[in-house]
Structure 1
Amino acid sequence: MGPEATCPWSLRVRTWIEPVVASTQVAASLYDAGLLLVVKASFGAEASSNHSASPSPRDALEDEQQRAISNFYIVYNLVVGLTPLLSAYGLGWLSDRYHRKISICVSLLGFLLSRLGLLLKVLLDWPVEVLYGAAALNGLCGGFSAFWSGVMALGSLGSSEKRRSLRLILLDLILGLAGFCGSMASGHLFKQMTGHHSGQGLVLTACSVSCATFALFYSLLVLKVPESMASPSKALPAVETVSGTVGTYRTLDPDQSDKQSVVGHPPSPGKAKPQKTIIALLFVAAIIYDLAVVGTVDVMPLFVLREPLSWNQVQVGYGMAAGYTIFITSFLGVLVFSRCFQDTTMIMIGMVSFGSGALLLAFVKETYMFYIARAVMLFALIPVTTIRSAMSKLIKGSSYGKVFVILQLSLALTGVVTSTVYNKIYQLTMEKFVGTCFALSSFLSVLAIIPI
């Protein structure tokens, strides 16, 4: 009998990581919107005071504010992206060796500290530079790299290989639904106490801190590590066919490698090399595609705040919520496409979907055009999630934490470079062609198809 048959229902429920993912993402979506709006308000007030003596055209004030926000995010994203490099891999190693919850709990502590930093900035009217320190604390605790690699490891452990793609995309669906709810509420929450400048965003940041606190204590006191769903031992070598990651290929079950050599059928020397090559190609495709996604996501908040869109707080929240619907549509896409397409086909569908939407974003002039472009990106989440699933089929279960955190750190490191480059490109081109960064992302997403 499997673990599902022997474990009481209450214990199985405690192995579900979904409550942690949902509460963490609600906190994150509230925090992201709050950070953008608080920083915008701070630099807006500063720009207005600097030009009170000598009035300047509205466009000049807007351009100065945009550059100030962009420069803030360049430094902020550098801190967020680089500080996890000091701790995330170590947390992944400790999780594999001692306890699976280590990387999740420590990173959630960092999340809570960063949310508290924003709350204190709002309460005490501290300078925005304080947020760099809060971001550094978050990164030193592993950041999102450690958290999501831990979530992926638990999700992979608690699912069979046949259902792993569905299991991992389900976690992304929970992430998207929670982010959608948080973003929809963020603009309305930010407007509470709007009459008091020092209290602007107080309700929003307090809600974010509350959700982060719940996630941390749930993971510490309630969450249990699921039993591994690895295939049972067999007398004969276990050879599995994995279709679609790079065409159709055959791979030895990594959990059975030692057993095969005992039986007398050692794997041929040529088998390991193609497997490593496949993993390397998957890494390259994920990184190039992530460059396109991160660049678009980083520039988009600045894009919607300036003309021709010039969104207010509520519209910013709705726009962020529209981005989270991609998690829902990508989940439905995997659910349908996995029945009739190989993994490679699903990955390419997602990349083309995002590239087409990014190209449309480059020429957006009205709000309805923005939402059309976001709708075209409906399958944009499929590629990286499917790549993670494919990689999990090529490695041992005991190595999930290390491999997933290496992938997540690679994405984070390239994301830091991308954020800096895209923000600089945006500053240089926002007066000539504001959609330059989106056009570049469209090209990169198509380029990412080549390794697949």
Structure 2
Amino acid sequence: MLPYWLSCVEPLVFIAQVGSSFFDTGLLMVAKERSNDTDRYIPSGKAQQKEISNFYMVYNMISGFMPFVPAFLLARIGDKKNRKIPICCPLVGYLLSRCLLLLVIVYHWPLQVMYAAATLRGMSGSFTSYWAGIMALASEESNERLRSFRLVTIELVYGIAGLLGSIASGHIFNVFTVRRSQGTLLAALSVGLYAICLLYSLFLLKVPKAAAASPTERESAVTSRSATGESSERTKLLLRRASQAGLTAAGQTLPSIDRVTIVLLFVGATLYNVSVDGAVDILPTFVVTKPLNWTAEQVGYGNAAGFVIFITSFLGVTVFSRCARDTTIIITGIASFLSGMLVMAFVVKTYQFYIARALNLFALMTMPTIRSMLSKQVDASSYGKIFVLLELSFTLASVITSPIFTKIYQATLDWFAGFCFILSSILSFLAIIPVGVVAYRTRQQQGYEPIPSS
């Protein structure tokens, strides 16, 4: 019998994120080197910024567009068959895409080959399916009272892995070269780590029994009592009354679906995710070109600063959940991100970058809390679908807004390179509005207590 910690999702999340950090740093530095080669007369500056931002624009659009159908299909299969499926399939795509980066580095293939890597990853479900599968699995094995804490704990593991992986990645990038190519060891380690993840998910990861029985299972459970002497008519009557009362056969309360709350949470989450993705898409180009012009080591440290936010957000949820509502935690996280991006817009020195990141300390409290609130609105058998629909809404919005942010960034380089970060702050502010409506509706609903019937 394996110990619990060796069969849950946290080790998988940790190893995968370390491998992803290696890949992200390697891809960014390769993109920077290849953009230097495109114009011998302008090795850095505006031409380089446009070259890198154009590559990431296309790469992110392919990454966002491809998972739509595969991710939804995998989520449905996961809900009906096995929670492992929407996790394992994306890991296959991740492994293949990491292999392609290794080949691009070693054999000096064109950087555009990475578009094929994004396509392969997308066709296997990509992060959309993988993260929705992780969240569904974690939600199913936790109760409602501790669910926010459970989900943010996984975010914490994700952040610690990203922190360690980012710090190490910048140094590893320069360690080992093949055919005068930097980043070979970094890419090879990423491939190895994802191979370990795939094997772990197949052979060690355990899927818990459903926290709440499906309607078919509830009917079967009640019907089975008829064999002990209850009539079938009485069994059906009991089942109908239990359903009307919102109870499972085990006596657990089924969630009452509030569609307005679900829609408002989706709108708020999507607006916030667009603001985050828009800023994050621009950030790599912003830091590796003038005025910051970071090296591989500095890129690693900068990414690590971003992952520290996972730790501080975990601490924030741990403290605030004892004295604040879920909606208050969500709004606090949005405000933290908003203030950091306002400062980021005016960054021209490295120390100023870290000040902006410090203001983002609680930015990652938002999404785990929204996922927790959404999970409380649906039955356990629908966790996979609700989470993948949330991720797909993020993906669709990102596909639309990523080229917009990129073109705005390129158009404003000459007069204000940080304009996109101000735009991101505005979108974050708009995301507060639907969450505020949810907070108001929740207070109104809790303000009225039902009169017990005779």
Q: Distance in 2 between matches of 1:352 and 1:448?
A: 10
Q: Distance in 1 between matches of 2:97 and 2:242?
A: 53
TM score, norm. by length of structure 1: 0.86
**How big is the shift at 1:157?**
1.0
CA contact (8 A) 2:79 2:381 kept: yes
CA contact (8 A) 1:176 1:324 kept: yes
Q: Distance in 2 between matches of 1:37 and 1:265?
A: 59
Instruction: Indicate yes or no: 2:65 matched with 1:82.
Output: yes
**How big is the shift at 1:197?**
6.4
Point out 4+ residue stretches in structure 1 off by more than 6 angstroms. 271-274
Q: Distance in 1 between matches of 2:245 and 2:144?
A: 23
Indicate the residue corresponding to 1:168 in structure 2.
151
Indicate the residue corresponding to 1:42 in structure 2.
34
Matching residue within 174, 179, 186 for 1:204: 186
User: Partner amino acid for 2:27?
Assistant: L
Indicate the residue corresponding to 2:25 in structure 1.
33
Identity rate, percent = 48
After superposition, the CA RMSD in angstroms is 2.2
Matching residue within 404, 410, 417 for 1:427: 410
Q: Distance in 2 between matches of 1:301 and 1:322?
A: 13
Residue 322 of structure 1 aligns to a residue whose secondary structure is helix
**How big is the shift at 1:227?**
2.5
What per-residue deviation string (whole Å, max 9, x for no partner) do you get for residues 220-256 of structure 1?
A: 111110233449x9xxxxxxxxxxxxxxxxxxxxxxx
**How big is the shift at 1:412?**
1.3
User: Partner amino acid for 1:150?
Assistant: G
**How big is the shift at 1:384?**
1.3
CA contact (8 A) 1:326 1:379 kept: yes
Query: What is the correspondence of 1:153-164 to structure 2 with a 5 Å cutoff?
Result: 153-164=136-147
Q: Larger deviation: 272-281 or 198-207?
A: 272-281
Q: Distance in 1 between matches of 2:243 and 2:283?
A: 57
What per-residue deviation string (whole Å, max 9, x for no partner) do you get for residues 83-106 of structure 1?
A: 001300000011111111001000
Indicate the residue corresponding to 2:50 in structure 1.
67
TM score, norm. by length of structure 2: 0.86
CA contact (8 A) 1:85 1:409 kept: yes
**How big is the shift at 1:13?**
3.5
Indicate the residue corresponding to 1:20 in structure 2.
12
User: Partner amino acid for 2:56?
Assistant: Y
Instruction: Indicate yes or no: 2:241 matched with 1:262.
Output: yes
**How big is the shift at 1:11?**
5.5
**How big is the shift at 1:418?**
2.0
Instruction: Indicate yes or no: 2:312 matched with 1:329.
Output: yes
User: Partner amino acid for 1:427?
Assistant: Q
Instruction: Indicate yes or no: 2:160 matched with 1:177.
Output: yes
Q: What is the count of residue pairs matched by the alignment?
A: 408
**How big is the shift at 1:206?**
0.6
CA contact (8 A) 1:125 1:198 kept: no
Residue 451 of structure 1 aligns to a residue whose secondary structure is helix
CA contact (8 A) 1:43 1:68 kept: yes
User: Partner amino acid for 1:123?
Assistant: V
Matching residue within 125, 129, 133 for 2:108: 125
Distance 1:336-1:363 versus aligned 2 partners, 3 A rule:
same
Structure 2: any 5+ residue segments left out of the alignment? 216-236, 247-253, 436-454
User: Partner amino acid for 2:369?
Assistant: T
Instruction: Indicate yes or no: 2:358 matched with 1:366.
Output: no
**How big is the shift at 1:443?**
1.0
Matching residue within 359, 363, 379 for 2:362: 379
Query: What is the correspondence of 1:33-432 to structure 2 with a 5 Å cutoff?
Result: 33-48=25-40, 51=41, 61-193=44-176, 198-230=180-212, 261-263=240-242, 265=244, 275-432=258-415
Q: Distance in 2 between matches of 1:321 and 1:96?
A: 35
Q: Distance in 1 between matches of 2:242 and 2:325?
A: 32
Distance 1:440-1:260 versus aligned 2 partners, 3 A rule:
farther
CA contact (8 A) 1:322 1:371 kept: yes
CA contact (8 A) 2:255 2:376 kept: no
User: Partner amino acid for 1:72?
Assistant: F
**How big is the shift at 1:39?**
1.0
Distance 1:25-1:259 versus aligned 2 partners, 3 A rule:
farther
Q: Distance in 2 between matches of 1:197 and 1:446?
A: 49
CA contact (8 A) 1:14 1:224 kept: no
CA contact (8 A) 1:291 1:415 kept: yes
CA contact (8 A) 1:33 1:183 kept: yes
